[in-house]
Amino acid sequence: MFFHSMKYMFLTLMRSKSFLLWCFAFPLVLGTMFHFAFAGLGSDESFEAIPVAVVIEGTSDVPPSSAAAIAGLLKTENIDLSMYFPGITGDADSLALTGSFSPENLVRGLFDSLSEPGDNQFLEVTYASSTEACALLEEKKVYGIITADFSALSDPVNARIATASDGTAASDGTVTGADSTAFTALLHLSVSAEMDSDPLYQSILSAFVEQFNLEYNAILSAAMTHPEALPELLNAFSDSMNAGYLTQESASAGTLDESLIYFFNLIAMTCLYAAMTGNNVAIYNQANLSQLGARRNISPVPRLVSILGQLAASLLLEFLVLLVTLAYLILVLGVNFGNELGYVALTALCGCFAGISLGFFVGSFGQLNEATKFAILMSVIMAGCFLSGLMVSDMRIRVENVCPLINRINPSALISDALYALIVYPSHTRFFSNIISLLALSVLFCLGGFALIRRKKYASL
């Protein structure tokens, strides 16, 4: 009897005009409208260099004795600093004699290289004093202030490597002598950022400062303890700089622009429209709400078997309709859902299950008539779609900032976020987290619906 119920429910839905309109035709029409309205919404967006103010405080001069010692170490280790800091030019002797090896010049060379015009320009640097930098930030002419403070670097107590006036190096690789200004300056370089603007640029600048500090400290630590490893570390540092802080990579197989958010939510809405069939299954199995329900309740067929067959037919047909919708969006409209179409289909299947179970639960609840339950169901679905971004693309992010729990229990948000995760994240951790949450909600709705229908008994039919 399971397959008998499944077969006739399938045929009933195929002949239902309302089903064909809302679950099949409407998503195709709306998807076409989205395509013409939003196609290429983010295609003209490109990364622009981040305007920043660079403040260099507490400059210190390199004494001739220290400069000679630096030249000796550079020659000993065969290090060409111009390879690693484009702002520093010349051989070891000329660097030492001209003082170009000062910490300030090293930092300026780094920022100058990152602000060179071109496709990989990362920063738009303005050198300024602290007061001028704060004024630029208040006027929103820069997105942040990066400060290199050398004021404490002339303290001989903090010297880790002492340089000798003759530039000789000890057998263990350290340079011995009395003057420690130059190497102390390198060892204690610190960079900090003050940001008061766009959160995206804040994150980028913060990551840049953190990476710079980590790499610089590693290089200086090697210079103190293992100078022989310094060229290798500098090569690694040079590779990261040559690769550029701005490198376009695809973390997954797809690309994301703002228009995709609307298509993700279109799929979520289509999945949840399956709730209409789940609602009908519940109503047409209750004798007090429909004549068909009265006839089914007096039939010898077990109610559980009959309902399961009808739900299975609804799920199968809804899933097939959604596959057709996806095929239309991908093949005809050219919407890019990435290359992991198997996971996209899995999301569609779980979404249909969530929609049917939601409708089944609402249809089983209370003694309200069919029209009232349908109105409640559509209100819940459209409210969920609105909160997930169907009407406003960043609404789900706003909800996440205000009340994250809503996104965890909103089926529409879970479906759209699962599709989003497939495009953006290389791992599937977030994707499966959404799928598991979606299945958990579906099971709860089904169990609740069965519990409500099972408890109903009728005095007369």
- Looking at residue 30, what is its pLDDT? 93
Bridge partners, residue 18, by sequence: none
Measured between its terminal Cα atoms, the distance across the chain in Å is 23
What number is the average pLDDT over the span 370-384? 94
Bridge partners, residue 54, by sequence: 127, 146
Contact between 70 and 93 under an 8 Å Cβ cutoff? The reply is no
This prediction's pTM: 0.60
Helices H, strands E: what count in the chain?
A: 20, 4
pLDDT of 186 > 80? The answer is: no
Scanning the structure block, which residue is given the tokens 């789900």? 396
Neighbours of 331 (CB within 10 A): 9
Model confidence at 9, in pLDDT bands (50, 70, 90)? Answer: very high
| CA 126 to centroid of chain Cα atoms | 30
Across 250-388, where does the E strand assignment appear?
A: none
Q: Which residue has the higher pLDDT, 153 or 267?
A: 267
| CA 312 to centroid of chain Cα atoms | 35
Q: Which residue has the higher pLDDT, 48 or 237?
A: 48
Alpha-carbon distance of 1 to 218, in angstroms, equals 72
- Looking at residue 345, what is its pLDDT? 96
Q: Cα separations (Å) of 245 from 155, 249, 346, 356?
A: 33, 12, 36, 47
Which 8-state DSSP code applies to residue 89?
-
Scanning the structure block, which residue is given the tokens 């958010």? 261
| Segment 203-248, tens digit of pLDDT | 677 777 777 777 766 766 665 666 666 666 666 665 555 554 545 4
Dihedral sign for Cα atoms in the order 424, 426, 429, 432: positive
- Looking at residue 381, what is its pLDDT? 96
Q: Cα separations (Å) of 257 from 59, 61, 343?
A: 45, 50, 20
pLDDT of 137 > 60? The answer is: yes
Q: Which residues have C-beta within 8 Å of that of residue 376, sequence separation ≥ 6? A: 362, 368
- Looking at residue 105, what is its pLDDT? 67
| Segment 139-181, tens digit of pLDDT | 878 877 887 766 654 443 333 333 333 434 343 434 344 333 3
Q: Which residue has the higher pLDDT, 460 or 164?
A: 460
b/e code 358-394 from CB counts within 10 Å (16+ = b): bbbbbbbeeeeeeeebbebbbebbeebbbbbbbeebe
Q: Can you give the length of the chain in residues?
A: 461
Highest mean pLDDT among 105-114, 162-171, 366-375: 366-375
Contact between 138 and 53 under an 8 Å Cβ cutoff? The reply is no
Scanning the structure block, which residue is given the tokens 């249809």? 363
Alpha-carbon distance of 39 to 29, in angstroms, equals 15
Scanning the structure block, which residue is given the tokens 């660079």? 54
What number is the average pLDDT over the span 330-358? 94
Dihedral sign for Cα atoms in the order 314, 389, 439, 343: positive
Contact between 53 and 128 under an 8 Å Cβ cutoff? The reply is yes
Contact between 165 and 51 under an 8 Å Cβ cutoff? The reply is no
Q: Which residues have C-beta within 8 Å of that of residue 129, sequence separation ≥ 6? A: 55
What number is the average pLDDT over the span 402-430? 93
Q: Estimate the crossing angle of helix 370-388 against helix 258-272, to 10 degrees.
A: 160
pLDDT of 124 > 70? The answer is: yes
Q: Which of 194, 192, 204 is nearest to 134 (CA)?
A: 194
- Looking at residue 458, what is its pLDDT? 60
Neighbours of 60 (CB within 10 A): 16
Sheet containing strand 123-127, edge to edge, reads 123-127, 50-57, 144-149, 191-194
Contact between 370 and 289 under an 8 Å Cβ cutoff? The reply is yes
Share of the chain above pLDDT 90, in %: 34
Model confidence at 194, in pLDDT bands (50, 70, 90)? Answer: very low
Torsion, CA 206, CA 210, CA 216, CA 222, rounded to 10: 180
| Segment 418-438, tens digit of pLDDT | 999 998 888 899 999 999 999
Which pair of structure tokens corresponds to residue 436? 């598991």
pLDDT of 357 > 60? The answer is: yes
- Looking at residue 426, what is its pLDDT? 82
What number is the average pLDDT over the span 312-318? 95
